[in-house]
Amino acid sequence: MNLNQPVTYVKGVSVARAELLYSELGIRTCNDLLHLFPFRYIDKTQFYTIKQLQQSSAEVQIVGKITNVQTVKQKRGSRLVATFSDATGSMELVWFKGVKWIKDSLKLNTPYVIYGKLNWFNGVANMPHPELELVSEYKKKLQTAMQPVYPSTEKLANKGVSQKIMRSMLQHLLQQAFSGIQDPFPAYFLDQHKLLGKKESILNIHYPKNQELLAKAQYRLKFEELFFIQLQLLMKKLINKSKNRGFVFEHVGEHFNHFYKNILPFDLTNAQKRVLKEVRKDVGSGAQMNRLLQGDVGSGKTIVGLLSMLLAIDNGYQATIVAPTEILATQHYNGITELLAGTSVKVDLLTGSTKTKKRREIHSGLEEGSLHILIGTHAILEDKVQFQNLGLAIIDEQHRFGVAQRRKLWDKNKNIPPHILVMTATPIPRTLAMSLYGDLDISVIDELPPGRKEVKTVHRYDSNRLSVFKFIRDEIAKGRQIYIVYPLIQESASMDYKDLMDGYESISREFPSPKYQISIVHGQMKPEDKDHEMDRFIKGETQIMVATTVIEVGVNVPNASVMIIESAQRFGLSQLHQLRGRVGRGAEQSYCILLTSYELSSDAKTRLKTMVDTSDGFKIAEVDLKLRGPGNIMGTQQSGVLNLKIADVVKDSPILYQARQAAIALLNTDPGLNLPENSSILNRYQLLQRKSGVWSNIS
């Protein structure tokens, strides 16, 4: 049997059932069904007699005969009751659904194996909706002490696709297709990494002979899944370095040296120096740089970006920074123009609201090469924005940009793509970085500049609100500014808007005009109104900013020293960390106050405790990943990269690391997978490449 054939080739799978399997579980081919792995196992090693049954709700297995069947009328419809007996006693089996069909299928005085959960009434046991199998059929089957339980849905169960049917389909498939299962790993590779063969692994994942073989089968299948993800990412990295030629920045020149020696207002941290060395090595190698720069809020990524751009300018190239919002782009522009004031480096800003006349100036400056650095939003990606020679493109908060948008940056140079530096203040856990960004070189700035004070974080309940208001008054009296942020959940925008407006009104009563001035910013405002309110706060015309999470990324107000997060239990950890990063940007001590109700889930308590205990973005990201799982963090479910059948990048991180090391070792000895003994690995790699689509070409 060819495993790529439709699942209808499996005995017992009709066209209607196949459509159901596809709509509910995404199973289209025999191979898809073969790789539908159980998520738990029922141990059926023990048979009980009816006399041995204890008064509990345990799942038990009994051999006996049905001696009597009757239909009992009830208020709605009827139920089916059967008397089931063995040598030690009798009990009742009960069905509330499918009564007629089940009654017709039951055989009296014939040995059955039954399995199910016990119910007790007045000390007498019964078993609702048991699994039933004739002893004669049971003896013919692939026997296993541990019975698999497969992923299912309510719709599948309602349409009669029970666990028994699922097991039956898998058994038929294994009997039909077992000989056709191909192992992508050659014998030497299996020996080297102490892995079970593919056939043995598939058999023992569906029908484990014992716990030890099940563990080996699970390890092998997880390793395979993670290995091929790593192989694709590492091959992509090799191809990028060999095929994607990059501009060579040969020397460190006047712009870089003058800025570094005479303008830079502080000493770089060791982490910043290390990252700069990594960038310089990349841009001097002749291959295109494709580097991810991770660093917590306030760690100094922008300075590293600016020095990298000056390196490009020293070598006769232009540079650009693309940011996801106008606020962030403007902030970059203001900060960089201030630092470069008095130098000959020409910098400009291009956003959606740039006027036509100004746009024309920018376009001509770019094309003739007199404009060195362009900072902006998605507007930079438009086709009419053409550079004379773009040497370095920096993408800030890259997870806010789609693949197609990033591709446009590559195309700004027709022959050689610019060097790419991707910056993010959202720390990515090591396990996820290896999986999602395994094709990129990764740099980390893991220390804050000296003199930066850690933001003090506390958790307070709603009942402490009056003391929080007093604290706000004291901070404003010192000349500080305050953020008060309300949650925003798209599904209930109207409710969130009401929460925000109620909050705004109560804040306005506590902090009346003209003594206090309050800005309000939310997603339902026009962009120009939002920018106006933001601008008032940035200029210090208002002391309090009441907002939704629109201020999560990109507002830099050194004078703002307090971040109050209302209903903090409704925020994710990464959001809480990003919001806290809006304060602590000046020399004064800053504070983050997490306000909640008393009713908190255990996950919410973990998030709040993590925020109070640490300000390390990487530790926070690890906790976040454990709480939310890899599928929900940073949109990886949509990325196509982590569509995993059995592995979990969090729980299986040791296997992920081993799989990555194995892929690195293989490519060190056979970079093109051209050796005959690696032909099966190459075949699987090529198949995955055809399926993986666009994401495999662009970081």
Q: What is the tens place of the pLDDT at every residue in 39-55?
A: 888 877 788 999 988 87
Beta strands in 365-466 (DSSP E): 373-376, 390-396, 419-424, 441-445, 456-461
Fold of the 57-144 domain: OB fold (Dihydrolipoamide Acetyltransferase, E2P) (2.40.50)
Could you list the beta-strand ranges (E) of 401-491. 419-424, 441-445, 456-461, 481-485
Nearest to 66 by CA among 44, 41, 95: 95
CA distances, 408 to each of 41, 290, 344, 380, 532 (Å): 49, 15, 29, 9, 31
pLDDT tens string 479-488: 999 999 988 6
Q: Which of 8-22, 287-301, 684-698 has the highest mean pLDDT?
A: 8-22
The structure tokens listed for 422 are 């991707």
Q: What percent of the chain has pLDDT over 70?
A: 91
**Token pair of 32, please?**
């898809």
User: Comparing 503 with 273, which gets the higher pLDDT?
Assistant: 273
State how far Cα 84 lies from the chain centre.
50
Q: pLDDT tens digits, residue range 245-285?
A: 888 999 999 999 999 999 998 889 999 999 999 999 999 98
Residue range 6-16: mean pLDDT, rounded: 93
> Computed from CA positions of residues 279, 282, 288, 289, in that sequence, does the dihedral angle turn out positive or negative?
negative
Token pair of 651 as six digits? 């729980």
pLDDT at 633: 43
Q: Does CATH number 3.40.50.300 belong to domain 456-614? A: yes
Q: What is the pLDDT of residues 352-367, one digit of tens each?
A: 889 999 999 999 999 9
**pLDDT for res 697:** 41
Averaged pLDDT, 189-218: 92
- pLDDT over 70 at 403, yes or no: no
Rg of the Cα trace of the chain?
A: 32
Cα 541 to Cα 299: distance, rounded to the nearest angstrom: 28
- 438 φ/ψ angles, rounded to the nearest 5 degrees: -65, -15
> What proportion of the chain, given as a percentage, has pLDDT over 90?
52
Identity at 22, one-letter amino acid code = Y
Is the distance from CB of 29 to CB of 4 less than 8 angstroms? yes
Q: Peptide bond before 514: cis, by omega within 30 degrees of 0?
A: yes
Task: Give every CB contact of residue 533 below 8 A, 6+ residues apart in sequence.
Answer: 519, 520, 521, 525, 542, 545
pLDDT band with cut points at 50, 70 and 90 for residue 304: very high
- Residue extent(s) of CATH 3.40.50.300 domains in the chain: 254-283+300-424, 456-614
**Whole-number Å distance between alpha carbons of 353 and 16:** 54
Q: What is the location of CATH 2.40.50.140 in the chain? A: 57-144
pTM above 0.85, yes or no: no
pLDDT band at residue 491 using 50, 70 and 90 as cut-offs: very low
CA of residue 87 relative to chain centroid, distance: 56
Q: Taking all residues of the chain, what is their mean pLDDT, rounded to a whole number?
A: 87
Instruction: State residue 490's pLDDT score.
Output: 46
Encode pLDDT of 535-549 as tens digits.
899 889 999 999 887
Going by pLDDT thresholds of 50, 70 and 90, the confidence category of residue 398 is: low
Residues counted in the chain: 699
In words, the CATH class of domain 254-283+300-424 is alpha beta
pLDDT greater at residue 641 or residue 442 = 442
Query: Residue 675's CB: how many other CB atoms inside 10 A?
Result: 13
What distance lies between CA 669 and its chain's CA centroid?
Answer: 32
Contacts with 554 (C-beta within 8 Å, 6 or more apart), sequence order: 323, 324, 325, 327, 328, 331, 397
Residue recorded with tokens 């720390």: 427
